[in-house]
Amino acid sequence: MNTFKLNLLVLAFGLSVAGGAMAQTLSKDDYKAAKQKISADYKAAKAGCDSLASNAKDICVVEAKGNEKVAMAELEARNMPTSKTLYNVRMAKAQAAYGVSKERCDDLSGNPKDVCVKEAKSIRTAAEADAKVQMKTTDANATAASKTNAARSTANDTVVDARKDASTDKTAALYKVEQEKCDAFAGDAKTACLDRAKVNFGKP
């Protein structure tokens, strides 16, 4: 599976992240009913996988489980919208997308499979890094809003550091993808491929 398709998968899991912060706290009965619906939806989806076979069935089961975890995280965010619960939604979506992507890689073999897995991990790393940046940004802004200019400066530094960390994590993951692609070659061709990857990513 190419990077474009993997990004589409992450996007599909990520469409409703922003909505949680606007929702009102649920009543106990509504919360309980929502949990029961999520459980019922998961069981129905998992049962629907029984008509499939081999890796198609595995993908179906992983997707059903991922959807359940995302739905639960979204429910918690609707019930108590905070930077942490919204962060948990983003992380659940990243993990769910990765689980399905990785399972799809089992349809491949050899180096294409290895590259597929590395690409899936790379996109998960990017999504998780963005989730951390968003949470730290939200928390820093909230703190700064209630304090002095010095606190605002500290908050800005926190956001900058978080973005740097996210960029570092994303670059490292992409570099691993390029290294894995080089395994398709041998001898001088592989060495040249690895050298190009080092140059492109500023590695010594």
| pLDDT-wise least confident of 31-35, 53-57, 153-157, 165-169 | 153-157
| pLDDT-wise least confident of 28-42, 72-86, 97-111, 138-152 | 138-152
Same domain, 174 and 129: yes
Same domain, 86 and 181: no
Continuous segment of H or E residues that includes residue 112? helix 110-145
Arithmetic mean of pLDDT, 25-45 = 94
Same domain, 16 and 26: yes
| Domain limit, last residue, from 85, 107, 129 | 107
Q: What is the pLDDT of residue 8?
A: 44
Average pLDDT score, the chain = 82
Same domain, 75 and 5: yes
> If you write DSSP's letter for every residue of 37-74 in order, what string do you get?
HHHHHHHHHHHHGGG--HHHHHHHHHHHHHHHHHHHHH
Same domain, 87 and 176: no
**Alpha-carbon gap, residue 141 to 163, rounded angstroms:** 14
Arithmetic mean of pLDDT, 77-105 = 91
- Percent of the chain past pLDDT 70, that is, above it, reads 80
Same domain, 2 and 103: yes
Residue 7's pLDDT band (cuts 50, 70, 90): very low
Continuous segment of H or E residues that includes residue 21? none
* pLDDT over threshold 80, residue 12: no
The range of the structural domain enclosing residue 36 comes to: 1-107
Judging by beta carbons within 10 Å of its beta carbon (0-12, 13-18, 19+), is residue 78 exposed, middle or buried?
A: buried
Q: What is the pLDDT of residue 102?
A: 92
